[in-house]
Amino acid sequence: MSEVVASDWETPLKVRLTGYDLVTKPMLNKGLAFSQQERDIFRLNGMLPPHVATIDEQAERRLRVLRSYSTDFERYAFLRDLQDTNETLFYAVLVRHIEELLPLVYTPTVGEGCQHFSEIYRKPRGVFISYPNKDRIREILADPRFDSVRVIVVSDGERILGLGDLGAGGMGIPIGKLSLYTGCAGIHPDLTLPVLLDVGTNNRERLTNPLYIGWRHERVVGSEYDAFVEEFISAVIERWPDVLLQWEDFAGSNAGRLLAKYRDRLCTFNDDIQGTAAIAAGTLLAAVNVTGVKLTEQRIAVLGAGSAGCGISSLLLRAMVDAGLTEEEARRAFYLVDRNGLLVEGMEGITPAQMPFVQKHDAVADWLVDESGHIGLLEVVRNAKPTVLIGVSGQTGAFSEQVVRAMAEGVAHPVIFPLSNPTSRSEAVPQQIMEWTGGRALIGTGSPFPPVQWQGKQIPVDQTNNSYIFPGVGLGVLAANAKRVTDAMFMVAGKVVASMSPTVTDRKARLLPPVDQLRAVSLAVAKAVAIQAQADGVAEACDEATLDRWLKSLVWEPKYRPYELAKA
């Protein structure tokens, strides 16, 4: 095990910076919470107003300002500025009000933040590695500020949520994800590093926008792109041999193959593929408590057969096999629909990830096809009568009234997960799903939605969001000092979330634990992931008491420590 950040709040922190240099360092700045003694020692008198505040008072003041804004984007920009000014206070507000702030620091508002990243950019955070600097990657990463980094989230901005190519604006995603690593799992901010690989953009609006801060060039592709990514990964491994690297929002053509290429060279995973799969599996397992339909009896239709859709299907297939089906039996339960309709043997362009889920011709021979000769989602629902419908297509409204009603005709309690982000890209609106199914649907969405109104009751909508999974996975990897991330670690993460579902004791309850319990969920996921890492042979074995101690030592609480002036 490597040394970790200790949870010792009483021990004074030795600080070399004084005066203006101190208050402009986000991780050290306390604002008005510097004690009078600290103001004397660090030459802050006169620089700060005389009032000495507590972190509770500061949090309340910031929250009042936040709530005074009229739009969520204004609130997002305010929180980003707070994070870049006083990081401890930012996390104190986030942790205490996670349910209110999660939609602001991450989906759906982060999508708008990425779209307008250039306009609101003010202070450096993370690392932009642009293609023209491909020969300076090691020099950039060598900065001593990054010595303690243990977790990296990296994106190339090509497929940001369902919004497409946003170029350098995609940096908002690694920043947002890492905020949740800290807010939900307590991983110290100094251990995290957001990275944007700026290889250009094919978004004409970005290229012609005079405010755009990224490299003004069409996207680098092919062998040049691969060589650039290889140079980055090689530099990362050299700089931080034990780092956890998360791939985020890469295009489907790159996401799966990059994961496959590098997963055995460093500790890495793709949240769009594996994290999405784990939370979908966990939510479905919770739904089984309500429907009574065993996992082995589910029929699953997935709209969107890209990296996320195939990742979800692969993990659910493995769960079905674990539950007793043969692999062939499990494969027959999946109906993946892509832009060219249902995946059927003989179709052109079938990827290796899609191949296990291709339907045989004779199984669908009498299904109607559209004008282009493809089998659409409606025909899949009418004929396959799926018990579960999952959307990761990014197609707004793709779960039409016809589709949802057809599903409700064949299933007592249809499980419907429109998972595409942000909210504007969701395949369906929960209120409509509830109305079209006569109140019988079990719903999980990728972004937050208000409660649905049904027969005089307000029914909360479960946000089937990766934030239930990846923060705990990251904490578990760090606690176990795992050398690799295995698929079994995501399987156990999904099962832990399902085990914490309120439906375990009340079939009428919501599918997922409330968002304000994300810290407890993340800790439970982390412990299970660490144990699984040991079982998989990618981490050293230890007893439970030792593992608990390591986990506890990693969890940082956003509190101010007392400061002492370090000797020169």
278 and 345 share one domain: yes
Residue 3 has pLDDT above 50, yes or no: no
State whether 367 and 457 are in the same domain.
yes
CATH number reported for the structural domain that contains residue 321 in this entry: 3.40.50.720
| Last residue in a domain, options 226, 248, 265 | 265
The H or E element spanning position 176 is: helix 172-185
User: In terms of domains, do 354 and 415 share one?
Assistant: yes
Residue 278 to residue 459: CA distance in whole angstroms: 24
Q: Which of 265, 286, 313 is the last residue of a domain?
A: 265
Q: What is the pLDDT of residues 375-401, one digit of tens each?
A: 999 999 999 999 999 999 999 999 999
30, 91, 177, 495: the active-site residue: 177
Q: Is residue 304 part of a domain?
A: yes
Q: Which of 30, 76, 91, 106 is catalytic?
A: 106
Q: Do 461 and 477 sit in the same domain of this protein? A: no
Residues 461 and 482 in one domain: no
What pLDDT is recorded for position 119?
96
CATH code where residue 137 lies: 3.40.50.10380
- Domain enclosing residue 212, as ranges: 54-265
- The alpha carbon of residue 299 and the mean position of all alpha carbons in its chain are separated, in whole angstroms, by 26
In a domain, 423, yes or no: yes
What whole-number distance in Å separates Cα of residue 487 and Cα of residue 446?
22
CA distance readout (Å), 558 to 8, 30, 191: 12, 11, 14
Give the number of C-alpha atoms closer than 13 A to the C-alpha of residue 261, restricted to the C-beta side: 12
Q: Is residue 14 among the annotated active site residues?
A: no
pLDDT tens by residue, 64-79 = 999 999 999 999 999 9
- At 4 the pLDDT is 40
At 258-274, the pLDDT tens digits run: 999 999 999 999 999 99
Among 409, 439, 465, residue at a domain's last position: 465
User: Two tokens at 4?
Assistant: 């970790």
CA 12 to CA 270: how far, in whole Å?
38
299/240 same-domain check:
no
pLDDT tens for each residue of 186-241: 999 999 999 999 999 999 999 999 999 999 999 999 999 999 999 999 999 999 99
pLDDT in tens, 312-324: 999 999 999 999 9
String of DSSP letters for 65-106? HHHH-SSHHHHHHHHHHHHTT-HHHHHHHHHHTHHHHHHHHS
Identify the H or E element spanning 338.
strand 334-338
Mean of pLDDT values over 243-262? 96
Instruction: Count the domains in the chain.
Output: 3
Considering the domain boundaries, does residue 32 fall inside one?
A: no
Is residue 177 annotated as a catalytic residue, yes or no?
yes
Mean pLDDT of 320-342: 95
The mean of the pLDDT values for the chain is 95
Specify the pLDDT at position 37.
Answer: 97
> What pLDDT, on the 0 to 100 scale, is given for residue 5?
45
